[in-house]
Amino acid sequence: MTAIGRLRISPSDIGRRVSVRHLAGDDLTDVLGNLVSWIGDWPAGVIKICKKDDSVQEIVTGKIFAAKVIEPEIGSLDLERDSESTWVPQEKENLGDWVLRFSGNESARANSCRLDGRPQVAVDQSLAKIVDWYRARKATAIVQSPKPGAFDEALARNNFLEVAHALYMISPVSASENPDVIIEKELTPNWFEAVMASDAKAPRFSKELLVSGSFVRFASIIDQENKIIATGRVSASKDLAMVTTVWVTENYRGTGLAKKIMHALSNEVFNIGHKQIVLQVLKSNEAAVGLYRSLGYEIHHDYAYYRHTRTEQSK
């Protein structure tokens, strides 16, 4: 017996619970669990499924007989698509499932191409189109892709190098009272100036990017001199809310202000009936990851940013 590869799942289902029937020797075997990674394409690609006992099983895609999502848990593609409506770039263009995004070098997410799902044409050809698209805007091509992802080999082959490893984290929302936190519907000059002055290494966000989204709230905490010492922002789409721009001034770090900001933002989302809230954080920022875990956030999936190099062009 040979596998016929009737794939009903894709890399966009990472994070979902799946059932996979595959060929093991001469017999068909069923595996049930969470799809945690997808490396390479059919038929030589490999998927990893985390089972109930926390063991991880690897399956070659060419040996899959049938597969399906068995629970409507949010997948990586759904999560990233919904997130885009909470941090809206100035310009977007589709390349199949991939999405080109540009906002004038303000943030990696708003100035990169999301690689998830399938491109419109062959992968190498699509990556070349990405390079040309950003070059036309006088920018270096950057892509965002799940890690590990289906296109890792193609990215390396086409001179895209990893520059940042990040995490999508997700949590249920909750109601709470936070009298120390000021919530505003509008972006005020004081809030904007505090964020822009918070860290010389931080991206220079535009006001247009910060106010993007159908529902946006700005949180802050002030000291006795009415100076902003902590900030946070949440923006919600129809089904999802995302936290960004959480910052505490250096002298007040470790005093619980970030938790107060996070609780207040979750409360705002709870009040509009949303069930989940997400955020993105660099994996190397261990303090922030630890904070979010303490608040009930769990890692949904890893992803990375890859920057195109001109190695081949300079030869």
Cross-strand partners of 46: 39, 60
Q: Closest Cα to residue 11, out of 41, 54, 51, 44?
A: 41
Instruction: State both tokens at 53.
Output: 């006992």
**What does the alpha-carbon distance between residue 114 and residue 95 come to, in Å, rounded to a whole number?**
10
Instruction: List the Cα angle 193/196/200 in 5-degree steps.
Output: 140
At residue 137, does pLDDT exceed 80?
A: yes
Helix or strand run (H / E) with residue 172: strand 160-172
Which alpha helices (DSSP H) does the chain contain, by range?
A: 76-84, 123-135, 152-157, 189-196, 207-210, 257-271, 286-294
**What does the alpha-carbon distance between residue 169 and residue 79 come to, in Å, rounded to a whole number?**
10
CA dihedral 123, 129, 135, 141 (to 10 degrees): -20
Q: Give pLDDT tens digits for 90-125.
A: 899 999 989 999 998 678 889 999 997 788 899 999
Q: Which residue has the higher pLDDT, 139 or 80?
A: 139
**What does the alpha-carbon distance between residue 23 and residue 66 come to, in Å, rounded to a whole number?**
10
Its sign, for the CA torsion 169, 186, 85, 109, is: negative
**What does the alpha-carbon distance between residue 193 and residue 205 come to, in Å, rounded to a whole number?**
11
- Asked if 266 and 231 count as a contact pair (C-beta separation under 8 A), the reply is no
Q: Would you tell me which CATH number, out of the four given (3.30.420.40, 3.40.630.30, 3.40.50.800, 3.40.50.720), belongs to the domain 171-295?
A: 3.40.630.30
C-alpha neighbours within 13 Å on the C-beta side of residue 158: 22
Instruction: State both tokens at 158.
Output: 């086409």
Q: Give pLDDT tens digits for 1-44.
A: 344 444 578 777 887 889 999 999 889 999 999 888 888 877 88
Q: Would you tell me which CATH number, out of the four given (2.30.30.100, 3.20.20.70, 1.10.600.10, 3.30.230.10), belongs to the domain 11-69?
A: 2.30.30.100
DSSP 276: E
Q: How much is the average pLDDT of 297-315?
A: 80
Q: Give pLDDT tens digits for 234-276.
A: 999 887 899 999 999 999 999 999 999 999 999 999 999 999 9
Q: How many CB atoms neighbour CB 223 within 10 A?
A: 12
Quickly state the pLDDT bin for 198 (edges 50, 70, 90): confident
C-alpha neighbours within 13 Å on the C-beta side of residue 280: 21
Instruction: State both tokens at 299.
Output: 């890692």
User: How many angstroms separate the most distant Cα atoms in the chain?
Assistant: 76
